[in-house]
Amino acid sequence: MARTLFGTDGIRGRANGIITPELALRVGMAAGLVFQRGDHRHRVVIGKDTRLSGYMIENALVAGFTAVGMDVLLLGPMPTPAVAMLTHSMRADLGVMISASHNPYDDNGIKLFGPDGYKLSDELETRIEALISGDMGSMLAQPADMGRAKRIESVHARYIEFAKRTLPRNQSFDGLRVVVDCANGAAYRVAPEALWELGCEVITIGDQPDGFNINRDVGSTAPEALAAKVREVRADIGIALDGDADRVLIVDEKGRLVDGDQLMAVVAESFHEDGRLSRNGIVATVMSNLGLERHLADLGLTLARTPVGDRYVLEHMRAHGFNVGGEQSGHIILSDYSTTGDGLVAALQVLAMVQRRQRPVSEVCHRFEPLPQILRNVRYKSGRPLENDGVLKAIAAAELKLNSHGRLLIRPSGTEPVIRVMAEGDNRDLVEAVVNDVVEAVGLAAA
């Protein structure tokens, strides 16, 4: 059975469009049934970001889980990595995060974590989908066996302590002026508190969620506000989280953006120096800049590439024993600490490197010169443009032109009818030319 609800990061879509109360109810029932194993009292933890629709989805999930006999622990607004950590820490059978990550407020989503804190396998998601589309009436709990729900108040402090413990015991950030942009999302409380407790002078933006303003002109997808604030208050560094705080980007003291590729280089060098890099390299996706790969090679380190999506990065890390991986977009996975991307934990590692070097962030976090990289999207209505003869010929010609001086990547989007065309290389004019050629061919095939 092919999955139709679950994508690469749970179930996501427009609130009250795709993500309806009925769907959330059935997800709760189905996931609860799949994760009832043994005779113990089963329980699930549920966290959410700050979207208005989170209330509706949370209540529907609670109804579904309790209907099949699972107890529910409600965490309130918490980062996705905190939910993953608490699922394991609190010995829950299942964890749920209600979030659409960096999407606008009118979208929402449901992410599921197993008892080990990792996202579910394709096989488990397929089993849950099969139950959602079927009749679960005969599987409901007897009246005496229905679940209970309660809200847990201490979880913010637990996550802050967890994040702080990823650093050496005596680590302090005294003297660092930090602007943190919480994207009006799930980390609006925990991120500023954690940074303050570690000694930072903290200036916060994007910390006034109202149900509608998550990711709106703030956060890692809109870092311009952070860059302006860093320059205004003459901060040492800016930290931009996204709506569910599983990704992070940095702004240096000059207001310039530092992407996930540079951050992976910083962390890889730090871990390598300390002998903490479990393999002689890291894992990233096909979108990471070739400059990162060359920089790591100069250090004697490798770069393993996966398809786009943090779940594929993590799968490769687990299968091959890597402990550092991530995406250019800011998902940084440090598997010594977390089972998923954790924006706050990654930011703390960068701050530790800045404090160790005693140099400006613009120097510490600029590890290599990225190659010119151009990405363009071509929207199509139907069909399979990438199988068109003209497109295939254009791709072959582009690869021949780049030869060994760059990379060409063409892939369909997993979430919308779009073909993404990316090329990078040493010569910017050549990169632009090959991208234009392929985009033109795809456009003609998609017309």
Residues recognised as catalytic: 101
Whether residue 295 contacts residue 266, with contact meaning beta carbons closer than 8 Å, is answered with: no
Q: How far are the Cα atoms of 217, 327, 340 from residue 310, in angstroms, in the given order?
A: 24, 7, 8
Whether residue 19 contacts residue 11, with contact meaning beta carbons closer than 8 Å, is answered with: yes
**Residue 418: CB partners within 8 Å, gap ≥ 6?**
377, 378, 379, 380, 412
What values do phi and psi take at 24, rounded to 5?
A: -60, -40
Place of tokens 């943090």: 310
Whether residue 1 contacts residue 63, with contact meaning beta carbons closer than 8 Å, is answered with: no
Whether residue 249 contacts residue 220, with contact meaning beta carbons closer than 8 Å, is answered with: yes
CA 114, chain centre distance (Å) = 17
Beta strands in 268-330 (DSSP E): 281-285, 302-306, 324-326
CA 121, chain centre distance (Å) = 17
**DSSP notation for 314-368:** HHHHHHHT--EEE-TTS-EEETTT-SS--HHHHHHHHHHHHHHHTS-HHHHT--S
Report which residue type is found at 49: D
Place of tokens 């299968």: 319
Beta strands in 114-168 (DSSP E): 149-151
